Chains A and B, each alone.
Chain A
Amino acid sequence: MTATGHDEDTDRSTPSPKPRRVRRTVASVVSVIGELLITAGLVLGLFVVYSLWWTNVLADREAHQQGDKVRKDWASPGPTGPGALDTKDGIGFLHVPAMSNGEVLVRKGTEAEILNEGVAGYYTKPAKSELPKDKKGNFTLAAHRDGHGARFHNIDKIKDGDPIVFETKDTWYVYKVFSILAETSKYNVDVLDDVPKESGKRKAGRFITLTTCTPVYTSNYRYVVWGELERTEKVDAERTPPKELR
């Protein structure tokens, strides 16, 4: 410390051009590093804006287009027979009043490219999801908690006994939530079992499973909600929703 102080003293008393140039170089290097750090901070800030806002804008746009297309397909009597399933554009809409986010288009697959378009996907791997129309099994879905439409953002608002309604071309499937797993390992693939033991069920039935990441803004764990089919309703000409959605 004393040595440095001494150096500074001599610098000030005898200002020679050489140390001044050195000092200027040091100053400019420091200022470039400082500017780079500020820039890095701004870029990280922009990344947050991107993740939490811009991906939602893109996903909402994409999901609306796809949803409209599915609705149009349903409305027009095409070459497909009654009840035919078009899995490419989406198989139906998920309505969860407790999440108060309207309808969520459901498509096949849980790859990032699909979920990033603001839809919920049903699992094809590690365990293949059954579909609601199947006599028995587990209809397993995943969607984003944040960004990319954030379709399951409010999954923590779902409580035991809440309805989950899945709408297809000709049927309303009304499920009732019976079990919630607020935090589990991301490797816990057993939650997708046909009879998910952690939900308390022991016998086969027609279940629905919603999975997403938790806590919000991270993906350290998974949040799981299970429902069991309560009843089905035929879709009428006006597509009158079941009483749970009214």
Chain B
Amino acid sequence: MYGWIWRHLPGNAWVKALISLVLVLAVVFVLFQYVFPWAEPLLPFNDVTVDEGMAAAR
């Protein structure tokens, strides 16, 4: 997969490395800016309040 991307990038090895770096940074940016903020509330790591979610079942 990564080999395929590498082969399809234009230019010599230095240009390829530079483009790869830009691609990696773009992916990290998208993750931090959009994906993680979306995923975080769906994961049970950061609920700090008490609530009545299952008060009836208590």
Chain A hits for B39, CB < 8 A: 47
- CB-CB contacts below 8 Å: A141-160 with B: 142-148, 152
Chain B hits for A126, CB < 8 A: 50-52, 55
Partner of B46, one of A123, A148, A152, A211: A148
* CB-based contact B41/A112 at 8 Å: yes
Q: Is B14 an interface residue (CB 8 A)?
A: no
For chain B, the count of residues having a C-beta within 8 Å of the partner chain is 23
Chain B hits for A31, CB < 8 A: 1, 3
Q: When chains A and B are docked, how far (Å) is the Cα of A112 from the Cα of B52?
A: 16
Provided the pairs A32-B1, A43-B31, A54-B32 are in contact, do residues A187 and B48 lie with their beta carbons within 8 angstroms?
A: no
Highest count of chain A CB atoms <10 Å: which of B31, B36, B47: B47
A190 CB, nearest partner CB in chain B, Å: 9
In terms of DSSP, what is the predominant structure of the interface of chain B?
A: loop
Q: Is A192 an interface residue (CB 8 A)?
A: yes
* CB-based contact A189/B51 at 8 Å: yes
A-B contact count (CB 8 A): 85
Provided the pairs A35-B2, A144-B48, A189-B52 are in contact, do residues A51 and B40 lie with their beta carbons within 8 angstroms?
A: yes
Q: When chains A and B are docked, how far (Å) is the Cα of A142 from the Cα of B49?
A: 6
Partner of A217, one of B45, B47, B48, B58: B45
Chain A hits for B51, CB < 8 A: 125-126, 186-187, 189
* CB-based contact A188/B47 at 8 Å: no
Q: When chains A and B are docked, how far (Å) is the Cα of A236 from the Cα of B47?
A: 38
Partner of B50, one of A47, A143, A222: A222
- CB-CB contacts below 8 Å: B21-58 with A: 28, 31-32, 36, 39-41, 44-55, 58
Provided the pairs A51-B40, A213-B47, A219-B44 are in contact, do residues A35 and B1 lie with their beta carbons within 8 angstroms?
A: yes
- Chain A residue with Cβ nearest B54: A187
* CB-based contact B28/A46 at 8 Å: yes
Chain B hits for A217, CB < 8 A: 45
Chain A hits for B44, CB < 8 A: 218-220
Binding site for B on A (CB under 8 A): 31-32, 35-36, 43, 46-47, 50-51, 54, 110, 112, 115, 123, 125-126, 142-148, 152, 184-189, 191-192, 211-213, 217-220, 222
Binding site for A on B (CB under 8 A): 1-3, 28, 31-32, 36, 39-41, 44-55, 58
Q: 8 closest Cβ contacts across the A-B interface?
A: A219-B47, A50-B36, A142-B49, A213-B48, A126-B52, A35-B1, A110-B49, A212-B48
